[in-house]
Structure 1
Amino acid sequence: LYIIVRFVIGHSVTLGGILDRAIEAEDKKHGDIMRLDHVEGYLELSAKTKTYFATAVSLWDAEYYVKVDDDVHVNIATLGETLARHRKKPRVYIGCMKSGPVLSQRGVRYHEPEFWKFGDPGNKYFRHATGQLYAISKDLASYISVNQMCCNKYANEDVSLGSWFIGLDVRHIDDRRLCCGDPA
């Protein structure tokens, strides 16, 4: 099992600005950055997720594609062992699974503008992996790549990813070792 690690980033609003030039210099020095055709922004994480999977699938013929937040420290060997355990299984979605409340109140962190799609007030999101760290198999990443134009983007990237798999025959693997803090 080989693991390729890249820091994934799009572009700043000011294309070619000081931040973009600094990232390009960093990449020239270390060769560990994957640039996306995407403008960075917190409210754009769901779009970035779609772009990441579509781009990664086009670049690498991998068994799994993993997303890790930049503030999460990962034991690469342990992650590799975790992925290897599920190698023969199709349509795998591995992470710290949760199902929290849909937040309809404006101004609160993780507010979901499309809250009404989840039913009556007080409902919870469907089961999905927390956004800090998750992995999906090649077939699921390919599905996102092919269908990215019709995959809805919710306010939260982890909810968006989980929603793209609703209605598909996906094996959700809840691995508590991939939890970062309280996944409630």
Structure 2
Amino acid sequence: MRRLKSVVTFIVVIAAFSFGSFITKILILVEKCPAEHSGLHVATHADNFLLVLVLSSPRNMEQRNAIRGTWLRLSPRHIFHSYYPEELLYLPNYGPNGHLEIELVEHQEIRLKEYINWKKSSKNLHSPKRARKIKVKHMFAIGTMQLGKAIQDNLYREQGKHNDLLLLPNHYDTYYNLTEKILQAMNVLTQTFEFSYLIKVDDDTYVKLDTLINELISYDNKLLHKEREYGTNPLPQLYWGYFNGRATIKLHGQWKEYNYYLSKNYLPYALGGGYVLSRKLCEYISNNSQILSLYASEDVSVGTWLAPLRNVYRWHDPRFDTAFLPRKCKSYHIVLHKRSMEMMAQIFDGKLCSGTGHSSVLEYYYDWTKTADKCCDNLVP
């Protein structure tokens, strides 16, 4: 009888251990599945070339519909048949100090002129030697914490119709909480989707998506062709936008900084109306999200987080009109911030732009060889 009791006890212990292991595995799987907690009921995609992340407010359904009806329709469905010439693109090499070499002002000026001339010429009618199949995925990131039932119901109906909302249940969505929002969004997206590049924009930004993707494909092709030349150095990781390095740290008002002690000015960052990041930079931010300092401005935070990395290629591009105030519209602008729904429709219909812009906001090339206070004195004519 005593032996029988021992056998029964042994069986119970083994069963309990097996059941506990089973439950643990289930919990791990749930923890590793952020998509289900974020309004994303989709399988992981392994072939997205570009992920479009739009930060949007819960109540801004009309703005989202305006984007869906205009520039998101410029996304290629299958294959691009005309690429921007790789030889016109700059790709940095490593210097003797082990850091990527900076792009000089004269090179930025030449590159903009070459782009304008190429757009005017017939070169862009030529087909590439080898086309690539391109997939683009877009998501509207929205925080849902403490939302009223009526607003949540509207979001669920919108999700049922479009299936493109990235709902963040642990984020309280306010205009002054964007840094936490970008962190949560990147966490979910990097764990849910495979992609090569991500463009972050606001829901009042218009993107000439076909032009941007065209050039991004050429950049990516050139990077692949030159991969061996980088040897043991890590491949350059793209941070593409319109940079500012002379912005003073806000000490008062709604954007007051409480934790920025690094320098007199904010470290160089791409303005938040729109910027492009390669996947590895998104992964770096996501993997370190628990220990990164959060600053008042989301774009300032991203620039500061990436500042120490030696393999970041900071591509300053005057074609990104992404500041808080729009500049005077130019035909070569490809990312345009502070555009209303009516403006988006007009640009999509072929108008150069809509609105006069602010003549006081000057366009510049970025001089990486100068101190921060003199970084942005080389004006674009």
TM-score with structure 1 length normalisation? 0.87
Measured after TM superposition, the shift of residue 112 of structure 1 is 2.2
The 2-side partners of 1:176 and 1:102 are apart by: 21
State whether residues 97 and 174 of structure 1, in contact with CA within 8 Å, keep that contact through their aligned partners in structure 2. Answer: yes
1:73 aligns with 2:206: yes
Matches within 5 A, 1:55-66: 55-66=188-199
Match of 1:136 in 2: 277
The 2-side partners of 1:22 and 1:100 are apart by: 42
Measured after TM superposition, the shift of residue 12 of structure 1 is 4.1
Q: 2:177 aligns with which of 44, 52, 64?
A: 44
> Alignment identity in percent?
28
Match of 1:161 in 2: 302
Matches within 5 A, 1:8-19: 8-14=141-147, 17-19=149-151
> Secondary structure of 1:50's partner?
helix
The verdict on how the C-alpha distance between 1:82 and 1:110 changes in structure 2, with shifts beyond 3 A counting, is farther
Measured after TM superposition, the shift of residue 63 of structure 1 is 0.3
Aligned residues: 178
State whether residues 103 and 110 of structure 1, in contact with CA within 8 Å, keep that contact through their aligned partners in structure 2. Answer: no
> Secondary structure of 1:149's partner?
coil
Larger relative CO (CA 8 A, sep 6+): 1 or 2?
A: 1
- Alignment-mate amino acid for residue 72 of structure 1: T
> Secondary structure of 1:39's partner?
coil
Matches within 5 A, 1:1-184: 1-14=134-147, 17-37=149-169, 38-87=171-220, 88=223, 90-107=236-253, 110-115=255-260, 117-119=261-263, 123-169=264-310, 170-180=312-322, 181=326, 182=361
The 2-side partners of 1:173 and 1:85 are apart by: 15
Per-residue deviation, residues 87-145 of structure 1 (Å, max 9, x unmatched): 225311111111243234322x5332334x033xxx32111100010111011011111
The 2-side partners of 1:161 and 1:84 are apart by: 24
Unpaired runs of 5+ in structure 2?
1-133, 224-234, 327-360, 364-375, 377-381
> Secondary structure of 1:114's partner?
coil
- Alignment-mate amino acid for residue 179 of structure 1: D
Larger radius of gyration: 2
Select the structure that is richer in strand: 1
Measured after TM superposition, the shift of residue 146 of structure 1 is 0.8
> Structure 1 stretch 74-83 or stretch 166-175: which is displaced more?
74-83
> Secondary structure of 2:273's partner?
strand
> Secondary structure of 2:181's partner?
helix
Superposition misfits of 4+ residues, deviation over 4 angstroms:
none
Over the residues paired in the alignment, what is the CA RMSD in angstroms? Answer: 1.9
State whether residues 249 and 266 of structure 2, in contact with CA within 8 Å, keep that contact through their aligned partners in structure 1. Answer: no
The verdict on how the C-alpha distance between 1:6 and 1:68 changes in structure 2, with shifts beyond 3 A counting, is same
Unpaired runs of 5+ in structure 1?
none
